[in-house]
Amino acid sequence: GFFEVRLAAVTALGRIASTGDLEAAMTLVRAVCDDDWRVREAAVEALAKLHVREASCTAEEGQSLGLAIQLVPAICDHLGNRSADVAQSARAALRCLAEKGNRHVTARAIVRGVSQAVPGRRVPLLRRPIPEVRRAAVDVLGDALHTLSFASASMQVGGASDCVSVQESLEVGLREATRVLSDRSSFVRQAAASALGGFARNVPFPPDTRKQIVRMTLDVLQAPKAPCSSWPEEAFEVLRSNATPGDQSVIQVAEFALRQLEAPCGVRRLAARTIGSLAMPGDVVASKCLLAEIYDADADVRE
């Protein structure tokens, strides 16, 4: 039918659907993939209204937001749609759910939605063969990680009962994001680095999360089957952005990478910058390592 009919139906459904009506909610999720942008936009707004009603009811009853747990993975699956406009609508829906309802519950569901295969799919979004799909999944994962990291930090102070669930989801999400630093596509790796706080992200992660990111990124570089010739330069961007000055575990890895002439020049360049950013004044070993590369054949490394 004409888009006006679908638009009217979606708008009305968002207004009258009752809380916990999974059939109505999943119909709205499917409408996020509509051919017409107005219908997609209305579906996002309707989902947000339904989510707000569910959140207000479950908050009074002290229950978890079960509808969001079921909705979010289904919305995440639309990130793999061939249409970039549909994928963008799916991301807008996820952001809307997070803003209108319980942010950390939605974020936990996003981690599950991108890292696990939904019913009918054998491969999760982060492992799909199309780079654009993996990139979209990494982007929404980055949003979720930021929400979970600050929720975890505040819960450690406030002692909220669901602190463990938030921390477990954060651990899973960080592990998935650092794994993507080894993705075969450079623009997927760049998205992962940005999601993990690299490339001057506006709001840095809390200190405890930054420590987790550094530890997991070092695990990626130091894996048994990861020779330095295959190390992703994006990993050093993540380390440089999250490690604290004087962190010898990071500095030593960077020094090792800088000395490996077979390593890609981008890796050696960022290794040198990592040493320059983190080594403390008077660090003789770091100084000698940098001095040895002053006359490197690659101009980027010398800089």
Q: Dump pLDDT digits (tens) for 96-113.
A: 877 776 788 888 888 988
Q: Are 54 and 19 in contact (CB under 8 A)?
A: yes
Q: What is the reported pLDDT for 60? A: 43
Residue 297, burial from CB neighbour count under 10 angstroms (0-12, 13-18, 19+): exposed
| Residue closest to 89 by CA, chosen among 97, 194, 1 | 97
- Alpha-carbon distance of 261 to 265, in angstroms, equals 8
- Alpha-carbon distance of 43 to 50, in angstroms, equals 10
Q: Is the model more confident about 105 or about 51?
A: 105
Helices (H), ranges, the chain:
3-16, 22-31, 37-61, 66-77, 84-100, 103-115, 131-158, 163-179, 186-195, 207-221, 233-242, 248-259, 265-278, 284-292, 299-302
Q: What are 193-248's pLDDT values in tens digits?
A: 999 987 656 678 999 999 999 999 999 888 766 676 678 889 999 999 999 999 99
Mean per-residue pLDDT, 53-81: 65
- Alpha-carbon distance of 145 to 175, in angstroms, equals 11
Please state at what angle helix 131-158 crosses helix 84-100, rounded to 10 degrees: 10
- Alpha-carbon distance of 185 to 134, in angstroms, equals 9
- Alpha-carbon distance of 265 to 145, in angstroms, equals 30
User: What pLDDT band is residue 82 in, cutting at 50, 70 and 90?
Assistant: confident
- Alpha-carbon distance of 221 to 67, in angstroms, equals 39
Q: Are 57 and 11 in contact (CB under 8 A)?
A: no
